[in-house]
Structure 1
Amino acid sequence: MQLVKVGLCAFGMSGKVFHAPFLKEHPGFFMSAIVERSKEESKDKYPDATIYRSVDEMLQNADIDVVVVNTPVQTHFEYVKMALEAGKNVIVEKPFTVSVSEAEELVNLAESKNLFLSVYQNRRFDRDYLQVQKVLAEGKLGNVREVEIRFDRFRTEPSSKEHKENHELNGSGAIHDLGSHLVDQATQFFGFPEKLFADVFSMKGADYANDYFEILLYYKNDLRVRLKSSVFTKEDHFAYKIHGNKGSFLQERTDNQENELTAGAIPTYGKDWTEPLKDTDGILNYFNENLETERVLTSTEPGNYMNYYQQIYEHIVFGYALPSLGNEVIQNMKIIEAALESSKKGKVLDLN
């Protein structure tokens, strides 16, 4: 099996939870280098990886094929550009960069150097997202007319993460963080909208970055898709509500991979590794072929973030399609930028 050597730009929460465990367990990858500015926390679980004190030092000295840029979003442009100029393929965490112009420059640079640039959109591999994708593909809802996708939390106090809470920093706030997932899901399901209207602000107060948003996407054929997130949501909602002319589907957000990984779960290669779902987590209510109403309680199949890295590996070795390529995610960033402008101006914006 061809071995792909990878360098990790940081060993904080994302490195420990979303990247390192999968790179270690996938037989096609070797985690060759990890950047830790002052500590050596990675040595215990990843003793074969060389520790570097800066991204620049790693790029100059490490034997690596792929760089994972998992640092705060405000540093993404600098580090992705450095990696591409050093001749490395790049995986960068969402939301890619803080602006569309930065993202476009990086995509052009990658293309000019014949390198790949993929954005880590891991929520495409959540069990709940995959279930919605399946239901839409089955066509039981008929012509879809109204959709709501939510990602809520109950975090009424500010976190200690400056890059997420400081309202003066470009790229901070919920619309770049959770919003990048919701926008990505909307565009994966329904494509790029024609217009949008948005309301974006901070429920914790004007001294903090936005922690609430509501984005209304206008599509052709009178489809409306509403994306919403709040940090003042103690009681869970259905994360997905999809209504068509033949029925409705309601889906809870039940993927637990992040929590299991944080608690120390070890993902396995080639099979499902998460805890099985004990209860139903969705409701499908529709007219069947006999025009009779069927109401079905549904259960999701396991999601698996390993599949992202499997697709990366297959792209490198076999030339298969690259998951969430940079050019594709630029479209999502255009929606985020337009949402901020719409909220500021209080008006519907035409995206064409």
Structure 2
Amino acid sequence: MGVHLIYHVVDLFGIPTALYADLRCQHEGGKADDNFRITFYYTDKNVVMSATKYARESAPHIILQGKLGSYIKLTLDNQESLLLAGIRPCDNWNQEPENQWGTLHTEINGEIVRHKLESVRGNYQAYYDNIYQVLCENQDLIITPQQAITVLQLIELVYQSAKCGQKMAIT
């Protein structure tokens, strides 16, 4: 479970009111959690984040379900796979092909609509650019120390919830 995953939940949906976590180590002899399911509770929605190392079939990486429709994206942002393949960042280096875009399924004016939505290109370099801007150009941090503290506090609550098997209120 990476800190960036919880940061994304907070960045997209805000700070939840409570959370429940199930963390497991499924690898025989393993010492680290390799399976998790975390439910973040909000007054108007729940956000579920899960992952497992052991799955014969991969599941969609993003599923958003709402009253008016659904959005499903099968793959993650392609930055990491490009870097692992030795492809260095330049120009449109991580523009996803259409077959990796997410699908929106909704209804507009009584007509069922199902179409691909082009992915917004990720830009991990922006973090490092921002550090430079803070140090050399007196700019503000994009991710503030308070945001980092909030995410770390949520991670602590995740571990507490998993240990005691209870939903944890966030105050």
* TM-score, normalising length: structure 1: 0.45
The residue number in structure 1 matching 2:78 is 256
Distance 1:274 1:234, change over 3 A: same
For residue 155 of structure 2, the aligned residue among 336, 340, 352 is 336
| Alpha-carbon offset, residue 206 of structure 1 | 5.7
The residue number in structure 2 matching 1:287 is 107
Distance 1:287 1:315, change over 3 A: farther
The residue number in structure 2 matching 1:235 is 57
Q: How does 1:148-167 map to 2 (within 5 A)?
A: none
What amino acid is aligned across from residue 264 of structure 1 in structure 2? G
SS at match of 1:220: coil
The residue number in structure 2 matching 1:56 is none
The residue number in structure 2 matching 1:322 is 141
Q: How does 1:196-211 map to 2 (within 5 A)?
A: 196-205=19-28, 207-211=30-34
| Alpha-carbon offset, residue 285 of structure 1 | 1.1
Query: Equivalents in 2 of 1:296, 1:331: separation in Å?
Result: 36
Pick the structure with greater CA Rg: 1
The residue number in structure 2 matching 1:304 is 123
Question: 1:280–1:297: 8 Å Cα contact kept in structure 2?
Answer: no
For residue 346 of structure 1, the aligned residue among 153, 165, 168 is 165
The residue number in structure 2 matching 1:20 is none
| Alpha-carbon offset, residue 188 of structure 1 | 0.6
| Alpha-carbon offset, residue 294 of structure 1 | 1.3
Judging by fraction of residues, say which structure has more strand: 2
Output one character per residue of 1:169-203: Cα deviation in whole Å (capped at 9) or x when no partner. xxxxxx3xx3x222111101111111111111101
Query: Equivalents in 2 of 1:209, 1:325: separation in Å?
Result: 29
For residue 213 of structure 1, the aligned residue among 36, 47, 51 is 36
Query: Equivalents in 1 of 2:150, 2:28: separation in Å?
Result: 30
Count of aligned pairs: 171
5+ long unaligned stretches in structure 2:
none
Runs (4+) of structure 1 exceeding 6 A deviation are none
Distance 1:313 1:228, change over 3 A: same
| Alpha-carbon offset, residue 305 of structure 1 | 2.0
Judging by fraction of residues, say which structure has more helix: 1
For residue 225 of structure 1, the aligned residue among 34, 47, 59 is 47
Percent of residue pairs bearing the same amino acid type: 27
What amino acid is aligned across from residue 181 of structure 1 in structure 2? H
